């Protein structure tokens, strides 16, 4: 832990990206920080970047990186790697997310969404998170790896403690570390068993393909295989489930925009303008962290090597310098350079898959219902990490046309 403030930042306003109150109202707090300064000072000597131009530039600046892999974040593979280690693993994983690989998944995603909606419309009262968004996103990503449906609830249970590791190690308590390590150990043992099984009985899935590459000399090296699978599995479903529910909640709170989106979703697909606006408005990733690897300058402030940096993606997405009336949900917004999928070398590899899943899920939900009533009561947000944003549940009543 480094509690000393970054040099030159003594007079900056203070912003704590780990403040649990941020889960309730991030955007009001971002606005007051952002309008005061492009850079704030945070705990642990953090430099907190608030505005779109600076966050965008910092995401693309390879002088900001992650440094040597530490035991806790090793489980997230190339997400936590700098060049030159990052590139070969990312290129390898890219093949599963190419345009053709994703469009081949489209029919299966539509069938899955309709199956879940059939059940939901019959029940009428459902939780859009646990009855719709989670089963969909888990089945899609586990389907890529050939992991059976009955194991998916267990995978979901392991995620919250492991996802804690998305926050930097200096922000984790001993208790967090212990819980994360024990969940990670169980998950690693599970993946080991899967890898061994699949080595003996290969199938037409991503896991078998990765094992074949590793066994023929790589990349991936054999020791890279397990974290690579863990990253693709975990990155693949929590964020997607959250954008589906964050998006549905945003539409429910803006009935005029819901009606507009529904009028354009006749084919069962949310249009890309509306999808981008939902991604911008309440992204399932709010913050990402870096450490200065080589002296860099942000907003005219020189930062020395070792300085920890927090990039407020959620704040950048609401910066009035870039988005007119940013607090308004506007599914017809013409220009939408949101940063919800990051930028630069770590730009989200799964962005096309996430867009497809969320557009089909929300598009068919709108097209196949006449009404969606949210159950009165306060919506609560998960308090897993500073990075992730999503509700704990979204109870609704659905009316068929
Ligand atoms: C709406 C859903 C999603 C959001 C908002 C999201 C957001 C992001 C962001 C912001 C990053 C960059 C992190 C950083 O720069 O530190 C990232 C990276 C990544 N995402 Fe996503 N993601 C989503 C869905 C997915 C899906 C479905 C997958 C795969 C199945 C995926 C796989 C990845 C991977 C592998 C990386 C690391 C890329 C790299 O380091 O080169 N994501 N994601």
Mutation choice for ligand 1 from 205, 341, 347, 360, CB with most ligand atoms inside 8 A: 341
Nearest CA to ligand 1 atom 32: 350
For residue 11, what pLDDT is reported?
63
For residue 243, what pLDDT is reported?
98
Ligand 1 mean position, distance from CA 355 (Å): 12
* Mean pLDDT taken over the chain: 93
For residue 1, what pLDDT is reported?
40
pLDDT single digits (tens) 21-76: 999 999 999 999 999 999 999 999 999 999 999 999 999 999 999 998 776 667 88
Q: Does residue 6 carry a pLDDT above 60?
A: no
Ligand 1 mean position, distance from CA 401 (Å): 36
DSSP 225-282: HHHHHHHHHHHHHHHHHHHHHHHHHHHHT-HHHHHHHHHH-TTS---HHHHHHHHHHT
User: What's the CATH number for 76-286+321-399?
Assistant: 1.10.630.10
For residue 261, what pLDDT is reported?
97
Ligand 1 mean position, distance from CA 147 (Å): 21
For the chain, the domains span 76-286+321-399
Nearest CA to ligand 1 atom 38: 346
DSSP 38: S
Q: Does residue 89 carry a pLDDT above 60?
A: yes
Ligand 1 mean position, distance from CA 350 (Å): 6
Q: What percent of the chain has pLDDT over 90?
A: 84
- In terms of Cα–Cα distance, which of 384, 80, 372, 30 is closest to 241? 384
For residue 266, what pLDDT is reported?
82
Six token digits for residue 307: 């300085």
For residue 378, what pLDDT is reported?
80
Least-confidence region, from 131-135, 174-178, 199-203, 347-351? 174-178
Q: How confident is the model at residue 141 (pLDDT cuts 50, 70, 90)?
A: very high
For residue 130, what pLDDT is reported?
97
Ligand 1 mean position, distance from CA 123 (Å): 33
For residue 9, what pLDDT is reported?
47
Token pair 């023929």 in the structure block, residue:
216
Q: What percent of the chain has pLDDT over 70?
A: 96
| Beta carbons of 82 and 67 less than 8 angstroms apart | yes
Relative to the CA of 290, which ligand 1 atom is closest?
16
Q: How confident is the model at residue 193 (pLDDT cuts 50, 70, 90)?
A: very high
- Which helix (H) or strand (E) segment holds residue 152: the answer is helix 152-163
Six token digits for residue 188: 């690693």
Q: Where are the alpha helices (DSSP H) in 201-221?
A: 206-215
For residue 4, what pLDDT is reported?
47
Q: Does residue 285 carry a pLDDT above 50?
A: yes
Q: Is the pTM for the entire model greater than 0.75?
A: yes
- In terms of Cα–Cα distance, which of 219, 273, 385, 292 is closest to 6? 292
Relative to the CA of 284, which ligand 1 atom is closest?
5
For residue 263, what pLDDT is reported?
96
Q: Does residue 213 carry a pLDDT above 50?
A: yes
For residue 2, what pLDDT is reported?
40
| Beta carbons of 394 and 120 less than 8 angstroms apart | no
Q: Does residue 5 carry a pLDDT above 90?
A: no
The stretch 85-109 carries a mean pLDDT of 94
Q: Does residue 109 carry a pLDDT above 70?
A: yes
- In terms of Cα–Cα distance, which of 40, 61, 44 is closest to 293? 61
For residue 7, what pLDDT is reported?
52
For residue 69, what pLDDT is reported?
76
| Beta carbons of 23 and 287 less than 8 angstroms apart | no
Ligand 1 mean position, distance from CA 340 (Å): 9
Q: Measuring from each residue's beta carbon to the nearest atom of ligand 1, which residues come in under 6 Å? A: 59, 78-79, 90, 141, 231-232, 235-236, 239-240, 243, 283-285, 288, 340-342, 345-346, 348-350, 353-354
The bridge status of strand 47-49 relative to strand 308-312 is parallel
Token pair 């196949």 in the structure block, residue:
368
The stretch 218-225 carries a mean pLDDT of 86
């Amino acid at each position: 832990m480094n509690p000393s403030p970054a040099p030159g930042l003594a007079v900056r306003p203070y912003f704590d990206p780990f403040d649990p109150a941020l889960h309730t109202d991030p955007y009001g707090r971002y606005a007051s920080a952002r309008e005061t300064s492009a850079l704030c000072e945070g705990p642990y000597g953090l430099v907190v970047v608030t505005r779109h131009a600076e966050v965008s530039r910092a995401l693309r600046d390879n002088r900001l990186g992650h440094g040597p892999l530490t035991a806790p974040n090793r489980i997230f593979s190339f997400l936590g790697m700098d060049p030159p280690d990052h590139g070969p693993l990312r290129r390898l994983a890219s093949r599963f997310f190419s345009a053709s690989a994703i469009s081949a998944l489209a029919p299966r995603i539509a069938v899955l969404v309709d199956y879940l909606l059939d059940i939901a419309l019959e029940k009428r009262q459902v939780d859009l998170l646990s009855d719709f968004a989670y089963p969909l996103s888990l089945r899609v990503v586990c389907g890529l790896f050939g992991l059976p449906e009955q194991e998916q609830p267990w995978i979901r249970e392991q995620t919250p403690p492991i996802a804690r590791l998305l926050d930097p190690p200096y922000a984790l308590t001993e208790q967090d570390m212990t819980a994360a390590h024990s969940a990670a150990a169980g998950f690693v043992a599970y993946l080991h068993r899967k890898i061994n099984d699949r080595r003996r009985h290969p199938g037409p899935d991503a896991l078998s393909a990765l094992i074949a590459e590793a066994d023929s000399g790589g990349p991936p090296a054999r020791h890279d295989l397990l974290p690579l699978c863990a990253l693709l599995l975990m990155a693949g479903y929590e964020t997607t489930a959250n954008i589906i529910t964050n998006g549905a909640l945003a539409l429910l709170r803006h009935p005029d925009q819901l009606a507009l989106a529904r009028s354009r979703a006749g084919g069962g697909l949310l249009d890309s303008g509306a999808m981008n606006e939902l991604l911008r408005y309440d992204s399932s990733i709010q913050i990402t962290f870096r450490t200065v690897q080589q002296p860099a300058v942000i907003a005219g402030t020189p930062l020395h090597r070792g300085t920890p940096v927090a990039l407020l993606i959620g704040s950048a997405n609401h910066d009035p310098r870039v988005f007119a009336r940013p607090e308004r949900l506007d599914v017809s917004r013409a220009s939408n350079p949101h940063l919800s999928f990051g930028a630069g070398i770590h730009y989200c590899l799964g962005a096309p898959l996430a867009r497809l899943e969320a557009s089909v899920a929300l598009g068919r939900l709108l097209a196949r219902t006449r009404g969606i009533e949210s159950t009165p009561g306060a919506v609560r947000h998960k308090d897993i990490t500073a990075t992730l944003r999503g509700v704990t549940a979204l109870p609704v009543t659905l009316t068929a046309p």
